[in-house]
Structure 1
């Protein structure tokens, strides 16, 4: 069996799908990873995985360049002859599926983490692209040999209502998985001198709620609260919603936040803070929150699709309205004033992460989808509701 995993960055493959690739290899698959050129390709190869760079530009709208990329993919797939092509994000789902169809590859799996920029942004470019992408998605996701993996029930409803895919071909798998055992020994440090360290770890995109986080930090600072607002992550120049580094530096200069940039050792960082936040506008299923939950940190996030899959308000975290910096500040203040509540929420978050979001669960569910397409006679018995996967 051979599988091709196709993503729009090598960073994504390394950080979110390397465990899947390694598990597939252990299960006897020949695995090829493809993405645009980047520094993480070497890291994938150092793990003994096959990775190949593509002549792909994420933000390109040049018709000739995009047709050339599609042709390149078709030739690659005809040469490799995989049993299955698995694309991640909307652009890779479209291009990978179209190329697979043209190359005669029988099985196509597409994992879409959220609706993406084209469907969530109100910018003119997004509105122009939306009907085109919608038509391409219908073509790419159609056919009995295709399955669409979504990360939350809200996205599943949207895809069904939009008529983008046969509802019978949707599989709900919650996230890309987190190695919860890696974070098992981490415990939140007590606030030194009453000073609360709060962390937002994300790509620096406006739709992650970074502006609202800065507004909350400003408000708490004006109130004289002993709080340190940490921001971990770098900008993503390939994304239209990227926040310029100059803007982030301006926030740092005014003293609103401490910017850590990219952090490799998330385990150590999460062990040094007391609260994790993510005021995102919409998510597939946010890995940063699950990692924080696995450490036993109390979570604050927005009441939006994806985020509310991880947090139940008052049970394992706090939910706040989207685009509301004042409400975010209130939630942070509440946890600072009630350490017992913070501990209770963190313990519940850790239990939920282990039970629902561990990478072993996600990887097995993904392999079950492969089996369903390539070896239907071997697929798992459905549950009482006729589902093959945990919803």
Structure 2
């Protein structure tokens, strides 16, 4: 039986983003081992319920201690060697670097990595990078130059990332593939063509500057000056550690002044999207292909998002929504107002989103493409 090792970070993330892939591999009678560095016993049981064999390992996601990191590589390589897999697939930045090196040390016949966006260190900030981010980026590029040439294949989700990482920094990789979005189990997202009487815009993301929360709020204020009955929903948690994130006090003031509605933590995000008119994500973060936007499209919602890598893969401008410049609340507000003044476009563009989601973001189709890339 062909043995496959998947190496990620948090087990919760694996369950959220890799469950369909794990099921697909197990249904094809592959023996699947899933490595997690952050986990609970309950999460490991859920991985096992998918048909895979859960394994754990040590990896400090944010640390830059080279001694600890190389110790982790060596320990992980021993665990991989005990399994003796035919293929190792690592995903997310640090597992791609350290998991791939560990797999090579363990002499795995085929080693493949998948980078789902370039992340925070490659995100262009409005005020420029601080010295710590610049330093981390230099270290990350150095590690990529060591690890990525060892891969048999490197998979990206969008076509901009290989240009901005590999070409710009002259990193040689044997073979590059672009997958597109990692996909959704579309049965979890019911299409809805029922829309509220007054326009309801919804933002779903952590309340980070780079996810566009400040631009969303600024646009909401502009729109409300002319259309006070329009509503602006925000679903997402505050990140107290992130530079420029929305603060608890700012959030309270916005809610008290009725600029936005923030229902707090919710488990039924899809239902909130279904009760909205338009999905808005003015992100400038280096996304792979944002999952929240895919979810909104599967439900049948038009999208306003930024013309930046990853986000632009979800919208055909003027067909299922609009692409706007990053850091431009007025442009964002103008497109919001377009939908308010042309309410028939809400349903028309929403249906186009639904069709695109069916074609591009169906996990069954995506996983078949991925299995082809993995040569399984």
1:191 paired with 2:196, answer: yes
User: Does 1:325 pair with 2:329?
Assistant: yes
The question of 1:205 aligning with 2:208 is answered yes
Separation in 1, partners of 2:139, 2:295: 36
2:269 is the counterpart of 1:266:
yes
2:155 matched to which residue of 1? Answer: 149
The secondary structure found in structure 2 opposite 1:217 is helix
Question: Structure 2 length normalisation: TM-score?
Answer: 0.89
1:25 and 2:26 correspond: yes
Aligned pair partner of 1:128 in 126, 132, 135: 135
Deviation at 1:153, TM superposition (A): 1.2
Q: 1:262 to 1:176 in 2, by over 3 A?
A: farther
Establish whether residue 363 from structure 1 lines up as the match of residue 370 from structure 2: no
Bigger shift: 38-47 or 20-29?
Answer: 38-47
Residues 330-350 of structure 1, C-alpha deviations (whole Å, 9 max, x = no match)? 211211211112222111111
Alpha-carbon RMSD: 2.3
Of 238-247 and 271-280, the range deviating more from structure 2: 238-247
The aligned residue for residue 74 of structure 1 is 77
2:304 to 300, 303, 313: 300
User: Partner residue of 1:112?
Assistant: 115
Q: TM-score under structure 1 normalisation?
A: 0.86
User: What CA distance in whole angstroms lies between the structure 1 residues aligned with 2:69 and 2:161?
Assistant: 27
Does 1:61 find its partner at 2:44? no
For residues 50-89 of structure 1, the C-alpha deviation after alignment (integer angstroms, 9 at most, x for no partner) is: 3234333322223333233223312221222222221112
Superposition deviation, residue 173 in structure 1 = 0.3
User: Is 1:215 matched up with 2:218?
Assistant: yes
Q: Residues of 2 paired with 1:52 and 1:232: CA distance?
A: 33
Moved over 4 A (4+): 235-247
Distance 1:2 1:206, change over 3 A: farther
Following TM superposition, by how much is the alpha carbon of 1:369 offset from its aligned partner in structure 2, in angstroms? 2.0
User: Within 2, Cα distance between the matches of 1:239 and 1:8?
Assistant: 20
Q: Deviations over 1:169-214 (max 9, x none)?
A: 100101111123432x42143223x2x2211112333211111112
Q: Distance in 1 between matches of 2:255 and 2:89?
A: 40
Q: Hey, what's the Cα distance between the residues in 2 that align with 1:342 and 1:41?
A: 42
Q: Which moved more, 1:292-301 or 1:43-52?
A: 43-52
Matched-pair contact (CA < 8 Å) for 1:2–1:84: yes
In structure 2, how many angstroms separate the alpha carbons of the residues matched to 1:236 and 1:148? 31
- Tell me whether 337-346 or 15-24 shows the greater mean CA deviation: 337-346
Q: Once the 2 structures are TM-superposed, how far is the Cα of residue 107 of structure 1 from its aligned partner?
A: 1.4
Does residue 52 of structure 1 match 2:58?
A: no
Cα separation, 1, equivalents of 2:95 and 2:249: 30
Query: Separation in 2 of the partners of 1:19 and 1:238?
Result: 32
Aligned-partner Cα distance in 1 for 2:215–2:148: 36
Aligned to 2:78, the other structure's residue is in SS state: helix
Query: Given that residues 181 and 360 in structure 2 are in contact (C-alpha distance below 8 angstroms), is that contact kept between their aligned partners in structure 1?
Result: no
Going from structure 1 to structure 2, the CA distance change for 1:262 and 1:102 (only over 3 Å counts) comes to farther
Contact preservation (8 Å) 1:59, 1:238: no
Cα 1:262–1:368, aligned 2, differ >3 Å: closer, same or farther? farther
